[in-house]
Structure 1
Amino acid sequence: MKALLLSAYAADSHRYWACGLMAHLDAIDWTAIELAPRHFQWRVRGNPLSFMSEHDETLSHSFDLIVATSLVDLATLIGLYPHLGRAWRVVYFHENQFAYPLGPQQTRRIEPLMVNLYSALAADRVLFNSQWNQDSFFEGVDGFLKKMPERVTPVRLETLKAHSEILPVPLWPLEEVPSAGQGAPARIVWNHRWEYDKNPEDFFAALETLSDKGLEFELVVMGQVFRKTPEVFEQARARLARHITCWGHQTRARYLEALGRGGIVVSSAWHEFQGLAVMEAVQHGCVPLVPERLCFPEYYAPEYRYDGSREALITRLAQWLTAPDTRPNPPDLGVWTWPQMAERYRRSLDGSPGAGAD
């Protein structure tokens, strides 16, 4: 089977998934095309032009399967290359723009919403990385269509729901499994993108409160860093300097090495459709502390969750720092690794009758 893998905004998590897909479904003859993760508004609406400009020859070939991320304007691309419409088409939603939180001084633009919707409608199968992602997408589509000047109810929407499936981004298996509860209990890890939607304000405010109370802890702040980052990062770096042992973007090897030392990996995010950064930290021996919202209840038992407030985060961290024996062991995420999930992916990418059904 010849397959074309299209990624219109190749952020770290998207590349992690794409590389895993090609490595663990290696019986498929893959051709991958990606665009750099920058200039989001231009990228999301202009990616067919970029694909055409940079990869016209490749797109002119025939494929049996097309797998595209949800920011690929698949409907337009098929219009420009009609023969691609004969392939089995799968769209993967790492996130959806209907549930993406707005940053300071941002307004909701319809172009990303329409690209998500049209790409889903142009697909034979739509995959979501969490139930939260799927539910918020269809709820968002319903609310969006109700705002249109004319009454619009595409008949394909119900078919689209029937052809949708929850299929998380699998974790690459580890050569050596960390022992339960390894690492220093007073080590706190942040390993998310340095952007507003990850809500770094609550995280750093909680740590400053703990520091002011005289609690001792080691702070590790990593993750993907962009040209523009929230000011709170530099402010926190100054205020929490005595606790910091690692700061900033790391090479992949050093990043994994830092996770392997264990500790508490914290999320305070306002936006998370799977939380791959937390999952990867847990896989390497960290104990998760995540809010009671978004996708997190799908993946973590109540003992790893707090109610989402800053006060609850402070309370739980203080408890785990002062009484380490109350901290649970890391959960087992083996069920979400490629060896366990590869067959489900094979079925979903198979366009034969009955394929993909559980």
Structure 2
Amino acid sequence: MKILLLSAYDADSHRYWHQNLIRQFPEHEWTLLTLPARYFAWRIRGNSLSWAFGEQRPLLEQPYDLVIATSMTDLSALKGMVPNLASIPSVVYFHENQFAYPATDNAHKSVEPQILNIYTAACADRILFNTTYNRDSFFSGAQALLKKLPDHVPAGLLTQLRERASVLPVPLENELFSPAQKLQTKLTDWRDNDRKALRIVWAARWEYDKGPTHLLAILEQLEKQNTDYRLCLMGQSFRHSPKEFKLISERFKHRLVQFGYAESREEYLQWLRSADAFLSTALHEFQGLSVLEAVACGCTPVLPAREVYPALFAEQYLYNCAEDIDQEATAACNKLSEAATERDTRMPPDVSYISWNNQRGAYEDMLNSITAKN
């Protein structure tokens, strides 16, 4: 089967997904086109223009059996600009949707990304979401938006889209569930040779929607409680990353064992395998790959009871959320204290169901069914 895969805003999680997808199905002939994950407003609106009239057009005009596109791809426009794509079966994969972002001055104000999500879904034969939370928030958001439009809104559109929609998670690499390799000395030394300190990892994009304000409040609370802990703080930083990260590097230097990107994928996983707890403060999360990877590596998750997390993890791993940030920080610290007390006896939750070993069959069925119908 010849498959065209389009990732129009190739963020880390999107890359993780398509690289493993291609690796899992070498029997197919893949053509991958990507665009960098930057200049969001231009990228989400202009990707069809960039591809259709750019140097990749000859690749788009090749005969394919299937097109797979991420939801950032302006697929409806691309099919109009490159007519041969219109007759090829297509699947759209939603890593996220534009309806469930937290309200903030930093968020994109335009409604256009939401409209484009609907257009892309409407022109696909199959719509896939990585979680039920992603699917449900897309449809509730789309319904609310369509109700606001003045006239000529097609009746039954969302019903049609629901009939084509299903949930298929981004699988975790099988290697995560293999016995951990012996850790390097520099990673096992968290400045605490007797292992009394709680080893905490926080790993996410250094952006407002991952809750840096909440992270700072939690660390301040841990200090007030005289908690003995060490912090490995990883993730992708940007030119205009929130100021909280600089404050953390200054105020909590004595707690930090890692600050910034790990030097390699192997080192990143070693940090996870040598940690006790994985802390999330996310205000926006559709699947939480970093959390799932950490749990697969043996970390106890300490997560806010919002977004996708209540659908993935039991209550014992969730801390209560509150409008008062200090109150929420206290709840998170209480969960971290539980993790410290039980770290030698508590087993992390089982997330092996989301491994490629257990999800490959569902992906294979998807690939075969969409082409069989056409």
Contact residue 303 and residue 328 of structure 1 kept, 8 A: no
Amino acid at match of 2:362: R
Secondary structure of 1:3's partner?
Answer: strand
Which piece of structure 1 moves more, 120-129 or 44-53? 44-53
Match of 1:311 among 310, 330, 335: 330
Name the counterpart of 1:148.
149
Aligned to 2:355: 337
CA contact (8 A) 2:221 2:329 kept: no
1:229 corresponds to: 241
The yes-or-no answer on 1:192 pairing with 2:204 is: yes
Alignment partners' CA distance in 1, 2:231 and 2:329: 18
1:113-192 matches, within 5 Å, as: 113-174=114-175, 176-178=178-180, 186-192=198-204
Give the superposition deviation at 1:262.
2.4
2:366 equivalent among 348, 351, 354: 348
State the secondary structure of the residue aligned to 1:31: strand
1:12 to 2:12 alignment: yes
Q: Tell me which amino acid in the other structure corresponds to 1:35.
A: L
Aligned partner of residue 116 in structure 2, secondary structure: helix
Question: Does structure 1 conserve the Cα–Cα contact (< 8 Å) formed by 2:65 and 2:371?
Answer: no
**Secondary structure in 1 aligned to 2:254?**
helix
Q: Structure 1 193/104 Cα, relative in aligned 2: closer, same or farther at 3 Å?
A: same
3-state secondary structure, aligned to 2:56: helix
Alignment of 1:12-161 (within 5 A): 12-52=12-52, 53-106=54-107, 108-161=109-162
* Aligned-partner residue type, residue 262 of structure 1: A
Structure 1 residue 339, shift from structure 2 partner: 1.3
Distance 1:102 1:59 in 2: 37
Higher alpha-carbon deviation: 95-104 or 189-198? 95-104
**CA positional deviation for 1:102:** 3.5
Are the aligned partners of 1:44 and 1:72 in contact in 2 as well (CA < 8 Å)?
yes
Shift in Å at residue 113 of structure 1?
Answer: 0.7
CA distance in 1, matches of 2:336, 2:344: 11
Query: CA contact under 8 A between 1:145 and 1:151: conserved in structure 2?
Result: no
Query: 2:127, 2:106 → 1: CA distance?
Result: 32
Shift of 1:353: 5.0
In structure 2, C-alpha distance between the alignment counterparts of 1:240 and 1:209, rounded to whole Å: 12
CA deviations over 1:244-272 (Å, ceiling 9, x no partner): 00010122222122112122101111100
Q: Hey, what does 1:258 align to over in structure 2?
A: 271
Between the aligned partners of 1:107 and 1:50, the Cα distance in structure 2 is 21
Query: Would you say the 8 A contact 1:145–1:153 is kept in 2?
Result: no
Aligned equivalent of 1:240, options 252, 257, 276: 252
The normalised TM-score by structure 1 is 0.93
Distance across 2 between alignment mates of 1:83 and 1:288 = 47
Structure 2: gaps of 5 or more residues: 182-187, 189-194, 322-327
Confirm or deny: 8 A CA contact 1:68 1:74 kept in the other structure.
yes
State the AA in 1 paired with 2:13: S
What amino acid maps onto 2:160 in structure 1? Answer: T
How far apart, CA to CA, are the structure 2 residues paired with 1:9 and 1:64? 23
Shift of 1:325: 5.1
Cα deviations across residues 325-353 of structure 1 (Å, max 9, x unaligned)? 58732112111011110110111222245
Give the Å deviation of 1:354: 7.0
- C-alpha separation between the residues in 1 aligned to 2:345 and 2:80? 55
User: Closer, same or farther in 2 for the Cα pair 1:24/1:106, shift >3 Å?
Assistant: closer
Contact 2:276 2:343 in 1 (8 A): no
In 2, Cα distance between the equivalents of 1:297 and 1:107?
Answer: 26
1:46 alignment partner AA: G
Give 2:290's aligned amino acid.
Answer: A
Structure 1 Cα separation of the partners of residues 216 and 299 of structure 2: 19
Q: Which moved more, 1:47-56 or 1:129-138?
A: 47-56
**Aligned CA distance change for structure 1 residues 353 and 200 (closer, same or farther; 3 Å):** same
CA distance in 2, matches of 1:77, 1:325: 51
Query: Are 2:314 and 1:295 equivalent residues in the alignment?
Result: no
- AA aligned to 1:186 is L
Q: Which letter does structure 2 place at the counterpart of 1:318?
A: S
* Alpha-carbon offset, residue 154 of structure 1: 4.5
| Residue type of the alignment partner of 2:45 | R
CA–CA distance in 2 between the matches of 1:107 and 1:56?
30
Quick check: 249-258 or 278-287, which moved more? 249-258
